[in-house]
Amino acid sequence: MTIADVLNANPRLQRRLFFLARRFVAGETLADAVDAVRELNGHGLSASLDFLGEDVSSTEEAATNTAVYCDMIERIVAERLDSNVSVKLSAIGQMIDEELAVRNLQRIVDSARACDMFIRLDMEGSATVDSTYRIMDRARATYPHIGAVIQAYLHRAGPDARRLLENGVRMRLVKGAYKEPPAVALQHMSDIRRNFMTIAEKLLASPVYCGMATHDEFLIDAIRAFVERNGIGADRFEFQMLYGIRREAQRALVREGYRMRVYVPFGTHWAGYFYRRLAERRENVMFVLRNLWRR
């Protein structure tokens, strides 16, 4: 039994510990998330809204989560928020049946199509990468405003990024947070940073609009130096960070003229999101603890 299972089985304990996660989760309801996005927009930051409900095990749960994503899109439009949505395919049935996830994603696409909203497909563990790309390719056949995530620590990240660029797919480039074996992923931070920048430079030099998702000051400085050295305009890409982490740095980049998008998770399944991040890699624990007191 995981920590998340213990907490989900004990609502009283979960409430007591929510204060730890509250810094990094906008709240438990869509209304909470809307308030958080509105505040971010007020500071010139865009958002990507994410509903916490990954790894569902029943078609009913998948249908419920799909309906929430559709409600998110409608609410973003109604409130005139500067936000898109990030979809976890495991939340809409990917691990149950790929065809189920395709059908549910199509419902979300139908909602997004009416307002021409961009949809980001989150990337989870390495075992889901090929499935995620298959589902994305099928959805993009009728709705091109769908993007993917590249995890720089995966050995396959470079070739995947090249293929996606050739097809004009917008990408969010991240280091990668899941615990993966050496056969699948780079293990040392220096190697991960090096691969991140190798891929970032290719994305930034391309005509495809992409997101540089990192809190790492080394990488942020390297990206800024690269775009300035190569005359790449600030409107050609965006920085991305997580909700509640380095908030002052987010606003500082906006003041410098860069675009910033904040990934905003919400939902009652915050325990799974928060504690899974901590359990996956030791570095995540230190990262969260440092940012509890950092603006």
What's the pLDDT at 19? 57
What's the pLDDT at 253? 97
> CA 25 → CA 76, 82, 156, 279, distances in Å?
18, 18, 30, 17
Structure tokens at 1: 């039994």
Residue 84, helix vs strand vs coil: strand
Q: How many domains does the chain have?
A: 1
Give kind and range of the element (H or E) at residue 39.
Answer: helix 30-42
Asked whether residue 203 carries a pLDDT value surpassing 60, the answer given is yes
Sign, CA dihedral 28-35-287-218, equals positive
What's the pLDDT at 27? 87
For residues 17 and 218, the model is more confident at 218
Asked whether residue 207 carries a pLDDT value surpassing 70, the answer given is yes
Structure tokens at 285: 């624990």
CATH number of the domain at 136, please.
Answer: 3.20.20.220
**Mean pLDDT of the chain, nearest integer:** 89
Q: How large is the greatest C-alpha to C-alpha distance in the chain, in angstroms? A: 54
Least confident of 44-58, 120-134, 227-241: 44-58
Instruction: Find the domain containing 253 and state its range.
Output: 3-292
> CA 191 → CA 153, 196, 261, 278, distances in Å?
8, 8, 26, 22
Asked whether residue 54 carries a pLDDT value surpassing 80, the answer given is no
What's the pLDDT at 284? 47
| Cβ count within 10 A of residue 225 | 10
Asked whether residue 262 carries a pLDDT value surpassing 80, the answer given is yes
111 within 8 A of 73, measured Cβ to Cβ: yes
> CA 104 → CA 101, 121, 249, 264, distances in Å?
5, 13, 36, 22
What's the pLDDT at 28? 86
For the chain, percent of residues with pLDDT exceeding 70: 83
Pick the closest to residue 123 from 82, 171, 187 (CA basis): 171
For residues 22 and 281, the model is more confident at 22
N- to C-terminal Cα distance for the chain? 34
What's the pLDDT at 24? 81
Number of continuous H segments (helices) and E segments (strands) in the chain: 12, 8
What's the pLDDT at 56? 85
> CA 184 → CA 37, 115, 156, 175, 193, distances in Å?
35, 38, 8, 14, 16
Pick the closest to residue 284 from 193, 175, 195 (CA basis): 175
What mean pLDDT comes out for the span 261-288? 66
Highest mean pLDDT among 5-19, 241-255, 264-278 belongs to 241-255
Distance CA 9, CA 38 (A): 33
Least confident of 144-148, 238-242, 290-294: 290-294
The band of 281, judged by pLDDT with boundaries at 50, 70 and 90, is very low
Pick the closest to residue 289 from 7, 16, 17, 20 (CA basis): 20
Asked whether residue 201 carries a pLDDT value surpassing 60, the answer given is yes
Residue 58, helix vs strand vs coil: coil
Distance CA 262, CA 86 (A): 11
Asked whether residue 274 carries a pLDDT value surpassing 80, the answer given is no
Supply the residues annotated as catalytic. 122, 172
48 within 8 A of 262, measured Cβ to Cβ: yes
The tens digit of pLDDT for each residue in 110-163 reads 999 999 999 999 998 999 999 999 999 999 999 999 999 999 999 999 999 999
